[in-house]
Amino acid sequence: MDARSVILAVRDGKGLAPEAAGWFARGLADGSVSDAQAGAFAMAVLLRGIGTDGRVALTEAMRDSGQVMTWDLPGPVVDKHSTGGIGDSVSLLLAPALAACGVYVPMISGRGLGHTGGTLDKMEAIPGYRALPGIEALRQVVKDVGCAIVGATDEIAPADRRLYGIRDISGTVESIDLITASILSKKLAAGLGALVLDVKVGSGAFMEDIEDARALAQSLVRTANDAGCHTSALITDMSQSLGHSAGNALEVIEVMETLTGTSVNEALWDVTSALGGEVLTLAGKAANLDEGAALIDHALESGRAAEIFGRMVGALGGPMDFVERYPDRLPSAPVFRIVPSPRDGYVARVNARALGEAVVHLGGGRLVGTDRVNPSVGLSGLAVIGEEMQRGEPIAMVHASTDDKADAAVQAVLAAYELTGKMPDEPPLIHERIGPEDVA
């Protein structure tokens, strides 16, 4: 078997057999499959698809391309994953909140893809934080602290780590087959007993239509449950930024404000609570979704989640006093611009993808795989749908490295907002739930 034959089979609509998936995943992991071949494979999958069987085969092959973890802990091992959006820092709230509820969270996360932010990029905005500590460090921090937000090293699903980067720069991020295999290969390799998926829908998501988001959620839930991991999904709104900030350090600040109660973002909190209720119920730590959500609320309100977040940061090389001193510990951009509302009116629509692209062009994401992310840049104070604006009032604030980049971002943000004279309906935070019973 060779890479060319695997690519041709997918290109010609013949699908992906288990043995072909296994061969290609091993080639991705050991380097015998080139970047060009990996890109061609990803494009063939995007354009032709590989079907349900091929999706399962690719997921399991990428899972088995590295170490599959087992755990000996006094509580369930669980996780959450988001399909990506703008201003989505829920993972940073949820991991410590879940740990405070008596479950263990080895949260293996990714970097930004396309216009969306990445959890690892956010954590690496914290000085000294080691996002790639290795398997043994991951085990120890999860055991001692209860959670660890880290990236997939060569030991965990190395085939996915390689293909993930290829997808970002080859225009193949949106494939349901590749998204399913990418997410679940890492999660299943982490040895989870329960998993909740946050599938985004709207202008800032990879799936802009509810039908596409539903198809992805069903694919993920079906594949994961077939692999033995109790899994459900929420389809949540991404027609605008979830948080008021978009950009790595800025989002960490918003998380810390919510964790410490100094300025709570209700949308972030509510999505965190709903997702946490799902996974606690799946893991048997809550009798029902309402009880699970209440447990998450208490973890956040009591300050226990903030304490655990601080311990996790310290255990992975960040400042030991991060919770107390986070405004001083995070980088800030040298150039600041207000984006003024061009007229009176209500925010009616937001092109969230355009906001994400503005952050990327500020340096907060990657245009090519070798780009270095600037953690300090981004957008803050983002106005939300339904908010009434007066002419000249800030729609957002731009944090930039240069005057030219700031000016370009101001224009991009203005173009992303549509104002009308009538108050619009606000979109729901959660559109649908898809549980194991819905895909059986």
Neighbours of 343 (CB within 10 A): 11
Task: Tell me the two tokens of residue 428.
Answer: 């729901």
Task: Tell me the two tokens of residue 200.
Answer: 């985004």
Specify the 3-state DSSP secondary structure of 103: coil
Candidate list 55, 80, 162, 222, residue with the active-site label: 80
**Residue 81 a catalytic site member:** yes
Specify the 3-state DSSP secondary structure of 434: strand
Neighbours of 227 (CB within 10 A): 16
Any bridge partners for residue 406, and if so which? none
Task: Tell me the two tokens of residue 303.
Answer: 């300050």
**Residue 186 a catalytic site member:** yes
Candidate list 116, 180, 182, 223, residue with the active-site label: 182
Ramachandran quadrant class, 191 (left: phi over 0; alpha: psi -120 to 50; beta: rest): left
Candidate list 83, 91, 119, 273, residue with the active-site label: 119
Candidate list 81, 162, 222, 311, residue with the active-site label: 81
Q: How far out from the chain centre does Cα 353 lie?
A: 15
| Phi–psi pair at 271, nearest 5 degrees | -65, -40
Candidate list 59, 82, 175, 239, residue with the active-site label: 82
Rounded distance, CA 417 to CA 432, Å?
26
Which is it for the CA torsion 388, 390, 394, 395, positive or negative? positive
**Residue 187 a catalytic site member:** yes
Candidate list 187, 311, 353, 399, residue with the active-site label: 187
Candidate list 115, 122, 162, 186, residue with the active-site label: 186
**Residue 119 a catalytic site member:** yes
Rounded distance, CA 235 to CA 419, Å?
26
**Residue 431 a catalytic site member:** no
**Residue 402 a catalytic site member:** no
Candidate list 162, 167, 230, 366, residue with the active-site label: 167
**Residue 285 a catalytic site member:** no
**Residue 200 a catalytic site member:** no
Rounded distance, CA 3 to CA 41, Å?
9
Contact by Cβ (8 Å): 125, 249: yes
Candidate list 64, 65, 79, 353, residue with the active-site label: 79
Residue with tokens 């027609």: 239
Q: Which residues have a catalytic role annotated?
A: 79-82, 119, 167, 182, 186-187
